[in-house]
Chain A
Amino acid sequence: MKLLLTAGFPRSYHTLALAELLRRRGDEVAGVIVVSVLNLRRARVLLRQRGTRFFATALRRMMGRSPSRAQASSVDPLSAFLKEHCIRPMTLKTWAREHGATYQAVSDINDRRALDLIEGTAPDAVLYGGGGILHEDFLTAARGRVLNAHSGPLPEIRGMNACEWSVLLGLRTVVTIHRIDRGIDTGATILTRAVNPEPEGSLDDLRLRCAVEGVRGLLQATSDLPENWVERPGHHARSRQCFIMAPAVRELTELRLKAQRTRILDD
């Protein structure tokens, strides 16, 4: 299968893992579209949405470290996954150069150059690994075949910090592989994969485990041609969208995770 990948930053290790595992499986990764973080407009939007804490995270990511390594347990699930599959950490640009894939850096995921790459390569599907909200033109260029690994159950948890919201709202922690459509996480569902919290893991660990499960889920979904995907139809937004958690609400979520872990251990 011919595939295109997107990423929200050059050292996106879950996108790297996905690209490498697809290549090893014999799929063609025709290109990677990466949204540059060194762009004033994006920085302004992210600062407005996520506050100053975002920049600490972004800096860690740019240096190739996990988002909250300092707070995560000693074994970072994403790094462990890379190690397990003998994938050398590198930038997506390096990976693309080494394997003859097109690397397209853009300042906006909906940039004309991104659309040209999709139209030029005509992939069977685009696998979304981040980069921002996709506009109609992007979805049209990809013939509606854009898959996302969403870290929460749908339609219950739409939006950001999905795995954290799953914990807080007492829902099962899963990764949902779904098509991206014009709504926020309203597209047809292809499959779901359960993610169980580790006995000692923090919320950051759980988030990274969701990222790993998302890679596995996208690999599973793309093991078959899009024509053969068995889909549960999309839905209208029935519940409020989730957004980035406020510090106080995140603390409450940590407490609920702790209680959930205790229950699992007791069982």
Chain B
Amino acid sequence: MTQKSEVPRAASQAEPDCVKDSGVLPSIDRYAHHHKAAVGWLRRSVDHGRGGSCAYYLPLVGWSDPYPETTGYLIPTLLRIGARTDALGDPTVASLADDMGRWLLSIQNENGSWNADLHPPRKAPRPSVFNTGQIVKGLVALHRAQREEEWLSSAVRAVAWLREGMTTEGLWPAGDYRLGGTPSYYTEVLWPMLDVWAETGDERIRASVESALHVILRRACPNGEIQGWGFEPGRPAFTHTIAYTLRGLQECAHRLDAWDTVRESVVPALDVLLRRGELQAGRLPGAFSEEWRADSSYVCLTGNAQLALCLLILHAREPDLRLVNGAARLIDLVCSYQRLSHPLAGMRGGISGSAPLYGAYMRFRYPNWAAKYFCDAIQMLVDTLDRERSG
């Protein structure tokens, strides 16, 4: 099955020497086209989600059940799209975010947590640290957008549950679906905890996050790797979880004003990934084992989009247009695999887990988080290009 985009001029194949007289970059139009298709796909995932957003679309099988975790972190994306006034904006999606938030409130556990897996869970419900953290991102975003107390009070209960599960060493001995130690990509849990700290001023949250962060920072290796950034110890880490780890560190550093402490754990890894992506024209290997041994048999498209975001965030902190170039190459590669027209609505505008479709990450599936990160990455790239253009 081919997956190549049918867009007349994909970003990766564009003729570059044709800046419009108005000074608008033609690539921004192309990115808007891809973004619109992905937003359409996300909307369909919500239409089929019975309150949430379906975790994925599986060709020949159809839409999955809704996934509370990714429904949660999809909310900030939809709110941003709803608030934009440019070609990437769509005011109609903001109400979807509100509906999804209410659905999440309705399935929150008594203790403040949310369960692992899709909803309704097929096995005995298990509260999940990681999933709870991702949902908190959505609740905080809704609180900031609407200033309604119910979102924040739900998030506060969730963070209280997260804190209760932390040991004195700073991490979670239970609550991960692998039932092992705490993976390093749990930096993505620490980030929303800091958002709740910012809203409530509860210093206990900040202290818990800081001690957890120090444990993860100690896992950084001299070659740029961070131990435990994969789903399973000893197995190759998808670029998806590598990007989770790095993004979580970047966001925590931003909130704690601790870039000097975190920088040396983030920049070496991003430099390795930037170089690998550039040398392969954006075709970043889907997973890395120890010593950066790459599995190049597929691209983890979600990871590509997420790492593009990490590069753009780094550029925002330490301006270097080489980072923007690397991000654009990663995003262009994802664009080239997005089908802008397809008879199956679940494939039209969606982003597959892997390229090719049979790659190891989310094999044959179109996950909603791939579309989410793709939209986030395009938005940030377009904003960066716009700033550079006018600056």
Structural contact, B328 and A249, CB atoms closer than 8 A: yes
B275 and chain A: residue at smallest CB distance: A241
The verdict on A48 contacting B280 (CB below 8 Å), with A247-B16, A248-B28 known, is: yes
Q: Are A254 and B19 in contact (CB under 8 A)?
A: yes
Interface residues of B in 348-391 (CB under 8 A from A): 381, 385, 388-389
- Give the chain A neighbours of B283 by CB distance below 8 A: 48
The segment from A12-20, A29-37, A50-58, A75-83 found at the interface with B is A50-58
- Secondary structure type dominating chain A contacts: helix
User: Which residues of the other chain, A, contact B13 by a CB distance below 8 angstroms?
Assistant: 51-53, 247
10 contacts between A and B (CB under 8 A): A71-B15, A165-B322, A204-B17, A243-B329, A246-B332, A247-B12, A248-B31, A252-B385, A252-B388, A254-B16
Distance of B46 from chain A, by nearest CB (Å) = 30
Distance (whole angstroms) from the CB of A236 to the closest CB of chain B:
15
A-B interface contact total, Cβ < 8 Å: 92
Question: Does chain A have a CB within 8 A of B321?
Answer: yes
**Interface members, chain B 4-25 (any A CB < 8 Å):** 11-19, 23, 25
- Least Cβ distance of B19 to chain A in Å? 5
Q: In the bound complex, what is the Cα–Cα distance between A202 and B23 (angstroms)?
A: 15
A203 and B17: CB pair below 8 A? Answer: yes
B279 touches A251 (CB 8 A): no
**A250 touches B (CB below 8 Å):** yes
Q: How far is the CB of B385 from chain A (nearest CB, A)?
A: 6
If A243-B322, A243-B325 touch, whether A248 touches B19 (CB-CB below 8 Å) is no
User: Does A245 lie within 8 Å of B279, measured CB to CB?
Assistant: no
Which chain B residues border A68 with CB–CB below 8 Å? 17
Say yes or no: A71 contacts B321, CB within 8 Å: no
Query: Could you say which of B18, B280, B328 contacts A248, with CB atoms under 8 Å apart?
Result: B328
Q: How far is the CA of A84 from the CA of B17 in the complex (A)?
A: 28
Check A49 against B332 for contact (C-beta < 8 Å). no
Contacts A49-B279, A49-B280, A51-B281 given; indicate if A248 touches B17 (C-beta within 8 A): no
- Beyond contacts A48-B281, A243-B326, A254-B16: 9 other A-B pairs, Cβ-Cβ < 8 A, are A203-B17, A243-B278, A244-B281, A246-B328, A247-B14, A248-B25, A248-B27, A251-B26, A252-B388
